[in-house]
Structure 1
Amino acid sequence: MAKGQMASGIVAGRLSADVLAENFSDLHPPYAPHEAAVAADRCYFCHDAPCVTACPTSIDIPLFIRQIQTGHPAGAARTIFDQNILGGMCARVCPTETLCEEACVRETAEGKPVEIGRLQRYATDTVMAAGVHPFTRAEPTGKTVAVVGAGPAGLACAHRLAMLGHDVVIHEARAKSGGLNEFGIAAYKSTQNFAEAEVRWLLQIGGITIETDSALGRGLTLSGLRDAYDAVFLSIGLTGVNALRAEGADKDGVRDAVDFIADLRQAGDLAALPVGRNVVVIGGGMTAVDAAVQSKLLGAENVTIAYRRDQDAMGASRFERDLATSKGVRIMTNVQPVALHGNGAVREIELEYTSSEGGSLKPTGETVRLAADQVYKAIGQTLENAPDGLNLDGGKIAVSDTGRTSVTGVWAGGDCASGGDDLTVTAVAEGRDAAMDIHNSLMG
């Protein structure tokens, strides 16, 4: 370990390999068949089911649960994959507690919903473990489509286009596909390299080629793609991070939470990851919770989430906040950073208390200092280097309901596009819907 890391208290191997393995085990263990049958039996199989309306991909939830109940998990998986080809990952990472399960009639009546997410995982895992791909490709159309970005939106778009008979080339900036699913989700939510396995499974449809280390601005231009392909779909994500406007924000030990999460997800040995004694995460969304919880699981002694507004305004769901506190993370609200102190490396963070008056945030002048040898910024991401010629809306690519941009022949979806929540399931829906619109456009 480097001398500076030892001096600052940021070291690797705070916990044993066995403890780390336990800490980063599956957050929601999969159902056994009898458990799935019992859970499915709780469904009322509602007509006009509110859970379906609450699902961004409109999966027929009562149907797939009925198929599980009657002993046909493969049929249930087909029902799921027909709407959401990344249903396996979404079963693991979707905030079901604020989507389908919150809308569940059982939740309304009893305060305990049908565990839709875990039932979805049971069905999709059953099929994927068998190596079965439930769809076959249509006859080739002779049309080619470029997809820029191999994240959830890009993969969903590519799969649907390939299934319809088009040839697809995905240009991915990183050396590995998966986007947010591979690099941006807490390791305890997606274990055993599931994101990578899901991509391999998805590619079984055929007709999809992935070119890694290939990105706009790195030998690719939007005009060049438009000339070379019949259509283009942009799913380039959000690669910029909002600046932390506080004195000393450039000190050692201050970094973006998304980079920390990506490093952890790709680490071959968790015991080799350095972690501080005192970690502070700035932000209130799921990225902030993921960074804070994983810091605690790596062995940090004191971990604090500092958020400028009250808890009700936090982007992280109640389940995520409860998860954080159950792991020993402290959540401070109505505080914002004003300075980071230390000689070269951060040692303390100074927070100012805030108040909300008429919906606007105001500083109170009262401050508090916390020990901090690591500070993670989880204060929102931004679109960097948007291709020229595209109209923007709120800092993102402006799109129609079907993903059409202001440039003919170019569609966009996922986090880089306007509208919708920045969720895996929303990105899948946008990619799928754009693919259908691209297909209709190409086929007249």
Structure 2
Amino acid sequence: MTTPMTPGIVSGRLAADEISRNFDDLHAPYDAHEARVAADRCYFCHDAPCMTACPTSIDIPLFIRQIQTGTPEAAAKTILTQNILGGMCARVCPTETLCEEVCVREVAEGKPVTIGRLQRYATDTLMARQGHPFARAEATGKTVAVVGAGPAGLACAHRLAMKGHSVTLFEGRPKAGGLNEYGIASYKSTDDFAAREVAWLLEIGGITVETGKTLGDGLSLDGLKTDYDAVFLGVGLGGVNALRIDGEEAATAAVDFIAELRQSDDLTMLPVGRNVVVIGGGMTAVDAAVQSKLLGAESVTIAYRRSRDEMPASTFEQGLAAAKGVRLLFNVMPVAIGDGAITLEYTATQNGKLAGTGETMSLPADQVFKAIGQTLTTDGGLVIEDGKIAVTDTGRTSATGVWAGGDCASGGEDLTVTAVAEGRDAAEDIHAVLMGV
């Protein structure tokens, strides 16, 4: 994974017990009393703005009232009916820019109801106390291929299985879960939760998982269309954008670093630089930077080409990075990497376009990560729109019988919760087409 620029990239910078503390749960889960107290703050708005802000349209006032009345399992069922990956979304969803941002309490007092933590309390309680809350309908005899076992694919597969269809879920990596398994900061999803949630989801039955198979490598779209009654593509974005600068070969994709960290059995063995620079401004950049610091890097810098206000990572994520000791630089872009340093050029917006000013600075850097976006690596010959598979509101692609959703599909934000909504909605449309309703 790592490409050393200098001998400064080493493992074991911190002792095992310190690393363990560093990677503990970002937010401790609520106990029953804490959840009841937090739920008491909800006004249970009739026209709740939080529901509108939720991409999966969870009935937030209802599930919070169910927690308040001591029925967290019922609250979980309310959540999971709309968002089958509600447990993970409670951990990783940027609630501060979605449901909690528009909470009436936030608008009036600057302190919203802690919707995300309440959602986690409800879903964790249900998963710990009872079996899978949904049952399959009578078998329809229809078969569906779902390619990609990330949030979109899992949500689609579950909803189709629940309606009685037989689903084969294809995944290129050794484990299902997609970004939930390989691309989320470890302190956001502890105790192997991503894998446990997938296992719990599969308890619905009717879903067969085949790993080591991807579109274009072991699978063809034409073959899938022949063998199955419908196809859903949730293939994500497998490519990484290039920096196109001198010395780029010394930079590592941040997503690869995060994936290696997530799959590591011993973080003391994971090498990290003394001076780390992360190029980018999104959630992946923050995750890579913060985790580098937690592994023991002495200096970690996020270098983003635009202003703070334009940074894709939320204010909360920016604050988290700063609190962990990460330096945030704005209006700088990389121009060269080499000799244990990275050269950055200051930027400015001129005539509506971002451009370099000609003024440069240099930072020590024995490890550089690039987190400047990802690209579609396979499209099956479908129509592409702005670098993604073109789809309708219900996920239909340009090919009859083929749907797509999640990061690989046009429209929407590249968020777990959005992917879940798109997979769920595509499944509903697939079911309607297959059953002629």
CA distance in 1, matches of 2:217, 2:246: 34
Deviation at residue 67 of structure 1 after TM alignment? 0.1
Q: Which runs of at least 4 in structure 1 moved beyond 6 Å after TM superposition?
A: none
Deviation at residue 288 of structure 1 after TM alignment? 0.2
CA distance in 1, matches of 2:81, 2:249: 47
What is the aligned-residue RMSD (CA, Å)?
1.1
* Residue of structure 2 equivalent to 1:179: 178
Contact 1:55 1:99 in 2 (8 A): yes
State yes or no: 1:395 paired with 2:393. no
Contact 2:4 2:367 in 1 (8 A): no
Contact 2:5 2:367 in 1 (8 A): no
Superposition map of 1:231-380 within 5 A:
231-251=230-250, 254-342=251-339, 347-380=340-373
Structure 2: stretches of 5+ with no match in the other structure: none
CA distance in 1, matches of 2:96, 2:351: 30
CA distance in 2, matches of 1:241, 1:130: 41
Contact 1:304 1:329 in 2 (8 A): yes
* Residue of structure 2 equivalent to 1:49: 48
Count of equivalent residues: 435
Deviation at residue 219 of structure 1 after TM alignment? 2.1
- Counterpart code for 1:399: V
- Counterpart code for 2:161: A
Q: Deviations over 1:139-159 (max 9, x none)?
A: 000000000000000000000
* Residue of structure 2 equivalent to 1:416: 408
Q: Deviations over 1:304-361 (max 9, x none)?
A: 000000011111000000000000000000000001122xxxx100000011124311
Contact 2:341 2:362 in 1 (8 A): yes
CA distance in 2, matches of 1:26, 1:228: 44
Superposition map of 1:89-108 within 5 A:
89-108=88-107
* Bigger shift: residues 103-112 or 210-219: 210-219
CA distance in 2, matches of 1:132, 1:357: 58
CA distance in 2, matches of 1:46, 1:395: 40
Superposition map of 1:380-391 within 5 A:
380-388=373-381, 390-391=382-383
TM-score with structure 2 setting the length: 0.98
Q: Deviations over 1:146-200 (max 9, x none)?
A: 0000000000000000000000000100111000100000000000000000000
**Aligned CA distance change for structure 1 residues 377 and 341 (closer, same or farther; 3 Å):** same
Deviation at residue 6 of structure 1 after TM alignment? 11
Contact 2:5 2:338 in 1 (8 A): no
Deviation at residue 384 of structure 1 after TM alignment? 0.8
Q: Secondary structure at the match of 1:100?
A: coil
CA distance in 1, matches of 2:130, 2:379: 38
CA distance in 1, matches of 2:212, 2:78: 34
Structure 1: stretches of 5+ with no match in the other structure: none
- Counterpart code for 1:437: D
* Residue of structure 2 equivalent to 1:117: 116
Contact 2:150 2:179 in 1 (8 A): yes
TM-score with structure 1 setting the length: 0.97
- Counterpart code for 1:312: D
CA distance in 2, matches of 1:95, 1:6: 34
* Bigger shift: residues 406-415 or 7-16: 7-16
* Bigger shift: residues 165-174 or 359-368: 359-368
**Aligned CA distance change for structure 1 residues 239 and 6 (closer, same or farther; 3 Å):** closer
The share of aligned pairs that are identical, in percent, is 72
Q: Deviations over 1:241-270 (max 9, x none)?
A: 00011111113xx20000000000000000
CA distance in 2, matches of 1:295, 1:108: 35
